[in-house]
């Protein structure tokens, strides 16, 4: 079995590669990644020398490169993580989000049509559903919740999801889509809430909380997300959407306070700053379809996962300090195979 993982040098894709290498050692794993600003090849350094692993630095929008790779490798399953993933960047500059997240997905699916595939799995997000109100804790996103994305990022993901489903309906391409809530864990780029707050705490820098800090996200430890994808690609039903959520709702300000407490830093570092434009109030995911059909449950409680994550950032300063200094770009070049 050959699995092509796009975006495998990023946060969740790298966790998925390690998960697959450990749980399916007989599989051949291919990682296709452009190495954008969000990627550190150091994250998957241990995989690079393995015989059943191949890293390919290419852009998913480059049709010739993608088709060449499919011709050489004939992957059985594609797990598609590669994307521009940061909401704030999509508000600053939407264009690359539409190109990578929509057209890049189309290129991959066209290659799947041309060369054949057992399964194309689209890794998507709960943000495609838009927001839930704070005063209705009974409401959760289900797979039937209408799409109502708010940011250029979530619009690009919703568009890609629809495109994937259209390739199933129109061309019979075997696909699945998963929509997951907010991930946290090791190797997350320090522009996202949790790693940014950890790193700023360690430098005694202000902790920028958007608006009143009462926005709620449903947090899931990355490894729990990756276990769910492993189940879906093997046992999920063709043409289906599966929600994945941690059922651990937390508001931003409480998370930042927890991080301060864990690191022994004063809450006076917390600084309320201008709110994100179009800031979604609350996300909460109902994963009962996935639990019912495939027996999946999240295993890592938020407090434990947060502690593990903080410990990882404390013991791996070189990983994130290289990102902050920009040295990781040189290291990416040095680590590139060939």
Q: Does 215 bind ligand NAD (CB under 6 A)?
A: no
Q: Which residues contact 333 (CB under 8 A, 6 or more apart)?
A: none
Pick 200 or 222: Cβ nearer ligand NAD: 222
State which of residues 78, 97, 100, 199 lies at the interface with ligand NAD (CB under 6 A).
100
In angstroms, rounded to a whole number, what is the distance separating the alpha carbons of residues 193 and 213?
11
Query: Exposed (0-12), middle (13-18) or buried (19+): which is 133, by Cβ within 10 Å?
Result: exposed
Which one of the listed residues 127, 131, 218, 286 is annotated catalytic?
127
Q: Residues 37-76 vs ligand DAU: string with x where CB under 6 A?
A: ----------------------------------------
Residue 62 CA to chain centroid, in angstroms? 21
Number of helices followed by number of strands (H, E) in the chain: 13, 12
Q: Does 125 bind ligand NAD (CB under 6 A)?
A: yes
Element (H, E) at 291: helix 288-294
Active site residue 322: no
State which of residues 69, 98, 123, 140 lies at the interface with ligand NAD (CB under 6 A).
123
Active site residue 92: no
Q: Does 247 bind ligand DAU (CB under 6 A)?
A: no
Active site residue 153: yes
CA 338 vs CA 46, 48, 57, 295, 334: distances in Å: 16, 11, 11, 42, 10
By the 8 A CB rule, do 180 and 13 touch?
no
Q: Give residues in contact with ligand DAU (CB under 6 A).
A: 85-87, 125-127, 181-182, 192-193, 196, 208-210, 215, 217, 252, 276, 283
Residues lying near ligand NAD in the complex (CB under 6 A): 6-7, 9-13, 33-36, 38-39, 59-61, 81-85, 100, 104, 123, 125, 157, 180, 182-183, 189
For the annotated catalytic residues, the residue numbers are 126-127, 153
């Amino acid at each position: 079995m050959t699995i092509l993982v796009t975006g495998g040098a990023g946060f969740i894709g790298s966790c998925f590669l390690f998960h697959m290498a450990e749980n399916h050692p007989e599989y051949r794993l291919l990682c296709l990644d452009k190495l954008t600003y969000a990627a550190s090849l150091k994250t998957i350094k241990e995989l690079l020398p393995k015989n059943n692993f191949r890293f390919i630095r290419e852009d998913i929008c480059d049709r010739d490169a993608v088709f060449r790779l499919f011709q050489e490798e004939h992957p059985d399953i594609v797990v598609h993580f590669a994307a521009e993933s940061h909401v704030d960047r999509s508000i600053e500059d939407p264009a690359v989000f539409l190109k990578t997240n929509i057209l890049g997905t189309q290129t991959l699916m066209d290659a799947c049509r041309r060369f054949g595939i057992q399964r194309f799995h689209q890794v998507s997000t709960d943000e495609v559903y838009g927001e839930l109100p704070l005063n209705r804790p009974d409401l959760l996103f289900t797979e039937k919740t209408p799409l109502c994305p708010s940011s250029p990022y979530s619009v690009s993901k919703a568009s890609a999801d629809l495109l994937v489903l259209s390739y199933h309906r129109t061309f019979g391409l075997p696909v699945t889509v998963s929509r997951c809530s907010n991930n946290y864990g090791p190797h997350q780029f320090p522009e996202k809430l949790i790693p940014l707050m950890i790193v700023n705490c360690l430098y005694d820098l202000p902790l920028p909380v958007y608006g009143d800090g009462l926005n709620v996200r449903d947090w899931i430890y990355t490894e729990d997300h990756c276990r769910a994808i492993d189940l879906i690609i093997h046992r999920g039903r063709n043409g289906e959407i599966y929600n994945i959520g941690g059922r651990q709702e937390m508001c931003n300000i409480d998370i930042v306070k927890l991080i301060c407490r864990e690191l022994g830093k004063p809450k006076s570092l917390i600084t309320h700053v201008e709110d994100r434009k179009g800031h979604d109030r609350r996300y909460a995911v109902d994963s009962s379809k996935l639990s019912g059909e495939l027996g999946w449950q999240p295993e890592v409680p938020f407090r434990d996962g947060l502690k593990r994550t903080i410990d990882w950032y404390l013991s791996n300063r070189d990983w994130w300090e290289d990102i902050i200094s920009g040295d990781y770009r040189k290291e990416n070049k040095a680590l590139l195979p060939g």
